[in-house]
Homo-oligomer: A and B are copies of this chain.
Amino acid sequence: MTGWLAIAGLGPGDPTLVTPEVTAALADATDVIGYIPYVARVAPRQGLTLHPSDNRVELDRAAHALQLAAQGRRVAIVSSGDPGVFAMAAAVFEALEAGPSEWLDLDIRVLPGITAMLAASARAGAPLGHDFCAINLSDNLKPWSLIERRVRLAAEADFAIAFYNPRSKARADALARIFDLLRETCRDDRPVLFARAVSTPEETLGIVALTNARAEMADMRTMIIVGSSLTRIIERPAGPILYTPRSAP
């Protein structure tokens, strides 16, 4: 068997944030599989078949990738950001466990990428410079009560918090509830970063105090980072820097 499956992270959008490891895997692949806008980031070439698919079919997509690799194809399944953070890697391993035992002999590699919170943090300064957590606000695959519980405990632990998937049409009021919940325990001036489409031509960055944070400030392309109690803003002519010092008292 000469096929393989690379679960590759394309980073946040800018081609200069794609690792050479991923670029090499894409150059050697016979098939690229993924959500439509991510596959669109891979340049077509002779000998490469692109398989764009719709959102929310992650398990079908993963099984398809495993099938092709089992047939001897060299398959890259692509995510934006890092494939191991709220992306395709976990879906592939779920499909692997549910699939035929022959798949356990496949050559499968996960190729890391720059995940959205690291890209957003870099653009804003260093809000994740001290202990932090990452929470996916999508409740497609977990109960809302668990999300609320984690947010409460994260605030109690005084983590900076990176929120992935903060907003979708199906959950219009969810983010507003999260901000309300944070306002119960955090000071009004806690800084909140809204980083949209980081590293793309549509990039926007905004920092507001928690008391002014509104769900409408985010859309599906926004990453939100709520600072810890120590997160600070340095004002300067070129724009503010948001960072969390390394020391805690």
- A: residues with CB less than 8 A from B are 11, 14-21, 24, 58, 82-87, 89-91, 93-94, 96-97, 104-105, 107-115, 118-119, 121-123, 125-136, 141-143, 146, 149-150, 153-154, 156-159, 232, 234-238, 241, 243-249
Other than the given A94-B243, A110-B126, 9 more pairs (CB < 8 A) read: A18-B19, A18-B20, A90-B130, A90-B246, A93-B129, A93-B245, A113-B118, A130-B142, A131-B133
Using Cβ atoms and an 8 Å threshold, which residues of chain B touch A108? 241
Separation of A153 and B113 alpha carbons in the complex (Å): 28
Using Cβ atoms and an 8 Å threshold, which residues of chain B touch A105? 236-238
User: Which of B14, B136, B157 touches A149 (beta carbons < 8 Å)?
Assistant: B157
A24 with B20: CB separation less than 8 A: no
Closest to A141 in B: B247
Known: A19-B16, A136-B130. A84 touches B150 (CB 8 A): no
Using Cβ atoms and an 8 Å threshold, which residues of chain B touch A153? 153-154, 156-157
Using Cβ atoms and an 8 Å threshold, which residues of chain B touch A111? 122
A and B contact pairs by CB, cutoff 8 A, 7 listed: A89-B129, A90-B130, A90-B245, A112-B121, A130-B142, A133-B133, A141-B247
Known: A131-B136, A146-B248. A110 touches B85 (CB 8 A): no
Separation of A165 and B125 alpha carbons in the complex (Å): 22
Known: A146-B248, A153-B156. A134 touches B135 (CB 8 A): no
Separation of A237 and B122 alpha carbons in the complex (Å): 40
Closest chain B CB from A80 CB (angstroms): 14
Separation of A14 and B20 alpha carbons in the complex (Å): 10
Separation of A123 and B126 alpha carbons in the complex (Å): 26
